[in-house]
Structure 1
Amino acid sequence: MSVTLQAFLRDFAGSDPQKQAVAAAVERIAEAGIAIADLVAQGPLADHFAKIMGDEANAGGDAQKELDVISEEVIIAKLKQAPVAFLGSEESETPIPLNDVGSLVVAVDPLDGSSNIDTNVSVGTIYSILPYSAAQFPDPVDALKQKGSAQLAAGFLIYGPSTVLVSTLGAGTQVFALDRASGDFILAKAAVEIPAQTKEYGVNQSNMRHWDTPMRAYIDDCLAGKDGPRAKDFNMRWVGSMVADAFRIFTRGGVYLYTGDKRKGYEQGRLRLIYEANPVAFITEQANGAATDGKTRILDIQPEKLHQRIPLVFGSKDEVAKIASYY
């Protein structure tokens, strides 16, 4: 018998108020995901979605597409129906108030990979759910700046040939697929396990000339294959949309690398700790993988600002440890 996301969340929540709040937030995010998937699916019929909005950039300094803004608006509308006090968005400079009596804050990248909208490459939505109380966090910015280890739930939706939700509620990682006939997300995999070892890595190798010595040394050793110190051949896979690259890793293993380099503005990579690295790290660890900035476990890093960038390596545990050893 198929298990719907709603049934799974009910079983998870039981009579626990905090878990019930988390379940409500996840369900609203999933509903938003269905609406965003419908918009993405219009493709060339809505090519204006991929257009950059004038000279505007989002709060993180990246070019802002029309669909980035629409996706954020869809998520805001849905989360106003959940016990979420504030939303932190990659598209917005400051936290967005949602519910005066909310017991959660949510951090979201409304449309990860939006630079690929016009190329029909999979894009997605990434979210992180954290506990909140006004007494503990008079400033909602501080609530969003909790360590990744404080997350109650995290996940991402991927809008591709199928619409899929990869989710953790802190007890393993699950995959749900949208059944268009019923409109429900159906449990497709109850316990994701990322293989500890791999022969596959994902990186934008065109930037190799800008990398620091440890990163270059790791890739050089992979490229040497069986004749090199790793004594095995590697494959490189790179989509350029992190949710797509992540889903491949959750499906068959591998590692993802986006470190800092010598280019101006790339010294700490381009990914955000709060909106991208923390949720992906939480999901990864719950799937028996690992995530690091090269030196420190991602979930142990204390955020200093809302749109802080950070180097990110995640995926198969043994390979992540091997990469960290180069640093």
Structure 2
Amino acid sequence: MAEHNFEPLKNDLLLRAAVGDRDFFTCCRSPEIACALTLLPIDKYDGLLDAAIIFSDILVIPQALGMVVEMVSGEGPHFPQRLKTPLATEDDRQYDEIMEKDVDVKKELGYVLDAITLTRQKLDGRVPLIGFCGAPWTLLSYMVEGGGSKLFIAAKTWIYRYPEESKKLLQKIADLCVEFLAQQVAAGAQMIQVFDSWAGELSPASFKTFALPYLRHIASALPDRLAELNQARVPMTVFAKGAWYALDELCESGFDVVSLDWLQDPAEAMRIARGRVTLQGNADPGILYGTKEAITATVEEMVMGFGGGKKGWIANLGHGITPLVQPEDLRFFLEEIHRIGGR
């Protein structure tokens, strides 16, 4: 049989995927894959979604700071070497190394920026593109816990035993968030969102000390950094999951939109907000496991709670879509929002 002189394969991603050699962060680091995954829901639910959010992860910031993060099947994110203590020892200077690291966002997180630019081009103006990052408190929690947690023992140990060192790390992360978000806008993001997924693990007093100041810093510093990059200010959203007690403070934090989880009553949230911000939310993602009648009832309650579809509200789930949701049930939910909300 004659030999063939084929050109070397330049992209073997499909072949590696076929044998299981592709993980979550590999998808994040490939602009082409991240773009394709971002566009999937926009194409599938054409006309029902009003924005696309870039496929990425909040933990790319700890990675940029030099930490290894793995996605373990069935468990979620895992840090093989978590941040144990701010007190340097001969064998462990990780805290000092992170604090001393000068992160070049374009170099370390350029794959996210490239994905945003590619996706913005592929969207061709159909809907706006949202960029995002994790909030300082949530990222610190992951970095010191080594992954998700139920008790947050390590994170609570840090903020209560080493409060000053924790604040320095939180500020370091906040500054990196500002630069990362600014570069996302420069790359093509038309709106940004900050996810404080573990905000509800803090008491009201602790939230005001270890979370709110750094959210405020991001909201105030980002427009200035955008101006330095000759970029226009974009709308900014904050989602502090579980921090229902801080809604009034969040309305004064400098963000344009405050996203709510499903534990907050829409009508009460509107009363507290008093038109200072746009609210976003907040159906329980679990409703998508229910009947069509249950989905309709939830949408009706949500729309009426937020004022009957009037201005000042962005329809959304109160968190991400959970596993095993049927695509057609999500479609029905979106269709009901359009029907009942009177778009």
Larger Rg computed on CA atoms: 2
> Relative contact order (alpha carbons < 8 A, sep ≥ 6): 1 or 2 greater?
1
Q: TM-score, normalised by structure 1?
A: 0.27
TM-score normalised by the chain length of structure 2: 0.27
Q: Which structure features the higher share of helix residues? A: 2
